[in-house]
Structure 1
Amino acid sequence: MCRVFGLLDPRLNHDELHRQGHELARSLRHGGPDGHAHRVFDGILVGGTRLAISDPEQGWQPFTTDGFTVFYNGEIYNAPALRRTLAASGVRFRTRCDGEVLAPLLARHGAAAGELLDGMFTVVAYEHRTRRLILLRDRSGIKPLYLFHEGGRFGFASEIPALLALRGGRAQPDLDGLDRYLRLKAVFGAAPEPGALGDPTLVEGVRSLPPGHALQLSPDAPPTMTALAEVPARARSTDPAEDLAKRFPDLIAEMLPTDVPYCAVLSGGLDSSVVATLAARAGGSLTAFTVVPRRPSAYTELPFAQQVAQATGARLEQVAVGGADLPELLPEVVRALGQPNSDPIIVSTYRLFQTVRAAGYPVALTGDASDEVFGGYDRFRSLAQSGDLGAYRQALSGVPAAWRRRLYSEDTLHALHSRRRPDDTPLDLSCADRDPTEAVTTFELRHRLPVYHLQRLDHLSAAHSVEARVPFCRDDVTALGRSLRTSDKLGPDGAVKVPLATAATRHGWAPESVVDRPKQPFTFRLSEHLLEDGGTALEWARQVLTDPSAQRGLFDQEHVEKTLAEFEEQRSEFLAHAVWSLLVLELWLQQISGGRR
């Protein structure tokens, strides 16, 4: 795992581009602390920082061969097979690093080389002959790449704060993005403008390269973006659980690094338990990390994580998080994210990876994405039973429409209405010719998973120089998931993720108590933590949100204060999330405006 960056600006000379390269490397050092490099060509800068995992001694970037200079962020899991094919055609390799396959693949296939890669990646390649830049992002969207395009100037970076530095620090919240954030807890969905270059973010003028896409840039031509071909869905199987059982253990074994220590993230739920069990079987002794509430709570999953650790022989490390930690941690978390995400899990995830790295592990395997691939959420089951897309949309909501209208200032409402109605939902869920759950699955995999889950995972692990690997995003697994009908994933008795649960039961991938237990988020109850220790966190939130400079005219301050008062009176999880969403947003607004922190 590394960080990458670049700039196309014909107006800048070599010295100015070199200066930008050094500044960007410093700003992204946390994600790649083991080294950095950049290269300058005529009007073009490309570079990156390195977290040395694959061939730490020799695998230094950039890889310059076959007429390309290549930087990349991530891991190419099928690199051994690609190396064998390339070697048979005469390519000679000097390292064992997975990224060394990229330049010869690009030389032979151009941007379509991305279709041959199974892994998590953003690739930045400069072709010397054509003076063309090729940017690639993996199909699942595990590794983000943010973009801006102003006139003939084009910048890109793995993180938004670094990208903003390229723009001279200019940042304003995008009002469409603001409404999406409050509606959906993060900014995702199709771009509001037809033909927009990338997916939306909360920063005006900043986009994200869509998952599974290639972007080609040239000083003499407009940018072009194309979709990589998907891995074809498998032929529908009569026993998808056995299909998964035949392949998944090998896929996880391929993901275990051989040159550095690794660990697993273990919640005690089915997904992370399966990953930890198979990692322990493939690699032997394993350390797993689990989050526990600092104060007694019915919301703990520790007993289940302990059962998995005992069954696998793993050493289990507990990471405690509580409400009293929020004033110290949440500003750091928001800074690491680069744009707001109001899932309560952000604080525990940040603390978890901080502990993982302090214990000496630069790589951690996680159970993310199984719910999207195999239908693990209650909202999928409810939609399959009722067909009610309105209820599905409501299940995604952070702050419902009526509350948003109450919170917005008159100026904000007017601006939103001038663009579109603020209660519109940017979900492409057209399903006239198919089961609505199939449309929802496509939407969740393409839009929600990359932003709400995977960007968060990438940024909060990179903040502590940890690479998070996601087995359920392997191409074989997602292809299996796309081949299944809703009826294959959901049982008649209310069961979810039936193929995974069945495989786990048949092959002992998790204790029976874990397979049969109800799903629970790997997080904490916001209402508990805001009120913990006499309401320490709530009082801090009140100070932040009622400061005279708060919200900068975006919200009606009187109604923000009413929301705080109503939560304190009712203490509901719904109101707690409204307070939390506003708090995360306000901390981010302070940071991008250079205000107090």
Structure 2
Amino acid sequence: MCGIAGIFHPGTPKPVDPNRIQAMIAALAHRGPDGDGIWTAPGVGLGHRRLSIIDLEGSPQPMSDGDLTISYNGEIYNFAELRADLIAAGARFRTAGDTEVLLHGWRAWGPSMLDRLNGMFAFAIHDAGARALFLARDRLGVKPLHYVELADGSVAFASELKGLLANPLVRRAPDLSAVEDYMALGYVPDDACLVAGVKKLAAGHFLLIERGRNMPAPRRWWDVDFSNRATGSTRALGEELVERMRAGVRSRMVADVPLGAFLSGGVDSSAVVALMAEASPRAVRTCTIGFDEAGHDERGHATTIARRFATDHAERVVDPDDFALIDTLVAAFDEPFADGSALATYQVCALARERVTVALSGDGADEALAGYRRYRFQAAEERVRGLLPAHLRTQIFGALGRYYPKADWAPRPFRAKSTLLALAAGGGEAYARSVGVTTPEVRARLFSNAAQAALGGYRAEERYVATMAAAPARDAIDRAQYADLKHWLPGDILTKVDRTSMAVGLEAREPLLDHRLVEFCATLPVGMRLRHGEGKWLMKKAMEPYLPKEILYRPKMGFVTPISAWFRGALAGEASALGSSRMLAETGWFDMAAITALAEAHRGGRVEHGRTLWQLMMLERSLKRVFG
């Protein structure tokens, strides 16, 4: 895994200062502690930080071959097969890694090379003959890539925002619409950025910038299609699912450095470890973290799997009240990021890095196979919506939802306000609310009149509404999964894993996001993804010969950070201070009295605003870091 950065002049090929490239990759040193490199030519400069995984002594970057030069972050899991094809076609290789495969692949196939790649990647290829820079990102957005057009006419790019901000020509001005996105979703999505003018190359897209031509729009080179349905028996489709999972795992076990796996004891990580143990001649190295709270501690389940597959297992009990890591996370993410599980993810990455350099995770199965509880709710709500015309739903459920009290303190059956509002809305709007953090109603109270006027009616939820309306899908669950693969997965889950793993110099690989597996899962009948309220139904059924039922069918737990309790206890002072924050006040975006009232209501225990307070605190600290 690596960090990349560069500058390209699409107009006049002005000289690129190597010191500027050096500053950009120095900001990314954590992504590549094993070495760095800089290459410049008229009108272009590329930089690289390396974490050595394959061909440890060879494959330095940036790498040149004739008129082609590349800076690359990622892993191409099928590079050996592509290498063989290219050699058969006459290519001659000097190294043993995957980087050179991309150079010869570009020469042989151009942009269509991307269709042949199985991997996670973000890379830049400078083609001197074509006078062009080619930027590309993997299908699902495992690896990040930011870029910006600068005042001198150049285009700068970097793996992380901090790499761009090391360039003095990047103008540091905040984008209010990105703040709206963040307050709604808990993260700044892939089609937005906190710094105005900076863009993220979307997952499954490429950008071909040619000298002498206008800056083009990125082009999508991959998409997932939920509109087709596979046929076959449960047994046959289950066998095919396991075989595709097996292929994803085995392809990601190729490394010239110590390799292991995260093991939570949940279905996904347990399935990955089971298939790793099947393929490995040695004990698989696994690690887990636990908490001294029985309701949130998964160590017992992880130990069950570790013993079953005789793994070389390590565990560590961590303090769920370890809010000392907050500033570490702020530094790692650059943009505000409010997924509280990032704290635990950082801790498990740090533990893994003590023993391995590469760790396989179970991320992606929930999105690909409808594992989240919210899919079940979405399906049930859509059935109710189908019983009444839209205008009657709005009148009946809308009125009930407006007047029903917000009772976060009450037992779940009495907390109906969110459900009533969801039934009043359309499917896309309702699903956007279900994945969100701070509702439109609360945001309306928090944002100042000036901010609301500046937003001009822009709402973060519209992104989900539009994506679900245009989804290649047949069913409500199809549309919800498609939207999550486009927004939640790259914006939250993969950003979290990339930044926390790279912060400690660990490469994380996601075998359950092998694109062939994801494409297959999208064709499964909905009833094989979600049946009788059980998400990932076919996966669980197919893994019964491998995993005990108490692992397969236990309730989903996940990493838990006691954010709400913090703001009623150790961080109560932080919550109160938000209402007098100079940084938040100076933006002019917020009604500071409303923030104070929100914090006081939460501390009183009758209303739940812990996640919103966490958002505001992380926003305040990110603003200080990025804008000073």
If the length of structure 1 is used for normalisation, what is the TM-score?
Answer: 0.91
Q: Residues 422 and 135 (structure 1 numbering): CA distance in 2 closer, same or farther, change over 3 Å?
A: closer
Partner of 1:383: 378
The one-letter code matched in structure 2 to 1:567 is H
Offset, 1:351? 2.1
- State the partner residue of 2:67: 67
Partner letter of residue 207 of structure 1? K
In structure 2, the residue corresponding to 1:280 is in which secondary structure?
helix
User: Is 1:333 matched with 2:370?
Assistant: no
Q: Distance in 2 between matches of 1:280 and 1:412?
A: 54
Q: What residue number does 1:504 align with?
A: 543
Counterparts of 1:117 and 1:187 in 2: how far apart (Å)? 28
Segment of structure 1 superposing worse, 166-175 or 512-521: 166-175
Distance (Å, rounded) in 1 between the aligned partners of 2:470 and 2:165: 38
Q: Is structure 2 residue 105 aligned with structure 1 residue 112?
A: no
Moved more, 539-548 or 330-339: 539-548
Q: Residue 312 of structure 1 aligns with which residue?
A: 309
The 5 A counterparts of 1:515-554 are: 515-531=552-568, 535-543=569-577, 546-552=580-586, 553-554=588-589
Q: Which moved more, 1:547-556 or 1:179-188?
A: 547-556
Matched, 1:470 2:486: no
- 1:121 Cα shift? 0.3
For residue 523 of structure 2, the aligned residue among 483, 492, 499 is 483
Other-structure match for 1:427: 465
Q: How many residues are aligned here?
A: 573
Alpha-carbon shift at residue 168 of structure 1 (Å): 3.7
Counterpart for residue 175 of structure 1 = 176
- Specify whether residues 368 and 167 from structure 1 end up closer, same or farther in structure 2 by C-alpha distance, changes over 3 A only: farther
**1:545 and 1:276, CA in 2 relative to 1: closer, same or farther beyond 3 A?**
farther
Deviation at 1:7, TM superposition (A): 0.9
Spell out structure 1 runs of 4+ moving beyond 6 A. 231-235
| One-letter identity of the residue aligned with 1:420 | Y
Residues 115-514 of structure 1: pairs in structure 2 closer than 5 A: 115-150=115-150, 152-168=153-169, 170-188=171-189, 199-224=191-216, 225-230=218-223, 236-238=230-232, 239-283=236-280, 284-293=282-291, 295-322=292-319, 324-326=321-323, 328-357=324-353, 359-387=354-382, 389=427, 390-416=429-455, 418=456, 420=458, 424=462, 426-428=464-466, 429-430=468-469, 434-491=474-531, 493-505=532-544, 507-508=545-546, 510-514=547-551
Q: CA RMSD in A?
A: 2.3
1:521 counterpart SS class: coil
**Where do 5+ consecutive residues of structure 2 fail to align?**
383-422
Secondary structure at the aligned position of 1:247 is classed as: helix
Shift of 1:223: 2.7
Given that residues 186 and 341 in structure 1 are in contact (C-alpha distance below 8 angstroms), is that contact kept between their aligned partners in structure 2?
yes
Rounded to whole Å, the distance in 2 between the matches of 1:453 and 1:585 is 19
The CA distance in 2 between the partners of 1:12 and 1:273, in whole Å, is: 53
Q: Any stretches of 5+ residues in structure 1 without a counterpart?
A: 190-198
- Counterparts of 1:23-62 in structure 2, within 5 Å, are 23-62=23-62
Q: Distance in 2 between matches of 1:465 and 1:265?
A: 15
Per-residue CA deviation, residues 263-285 of structure 1 (Å, 9 max, x unaligned), is 21122211111112212222231
1:91 CA displacement: 1.4
Q: 2:626 aligns with which of 580, 587, 592?
A: 592
CA change 1:571–1:118 in 2 (3 A) is farther
How many angstroms apart in 2 are the aligned matches of 1:246 and 1:381? Answer: 27
Equivalent residue of 1:367, what SS? Answer: coil
Deviation at 1:543, TM superposition (A): 4.0
Distance 2:460 2:146 in 1: 25
Mapped partners of 2:491, 2:326: distance in 1: 19
- Deviations 1:292-334, CA, capped at 9 Å, x for gaps: 22x43522222211211121212333344435421x2111101
SS at match of 1:200: coil
For residues 127 and 445 of structure 2, the distance between their equivalents in structure 1, rounded to whole angstroms, comes to 52
Deviations 1:100-119 (A, max 9, x none): 21011101111221111100
Q: Could you say which residue in structure 2 is the equivalent of 1:193?
A: none
Instruction: State the SS of the aligned residue for 2:166.
Output: helix
Q: CA deviation at 1:379?
A: 1.3
Question: What is the rounded CA distance, in whole Å, between the counterparts of 1:114 and 1:364 in structure 2?
Answer: 25
Aligned to 2:124, the other structure's residue is in SS state strand
Q: Which amino acid aligns with 1:313?
A: A
Q: Give, as a single letter, the amino acid of the residue that structure 2 aligns with 1:463.
A: A
Give the superposition deviation at 1:529: 4.4
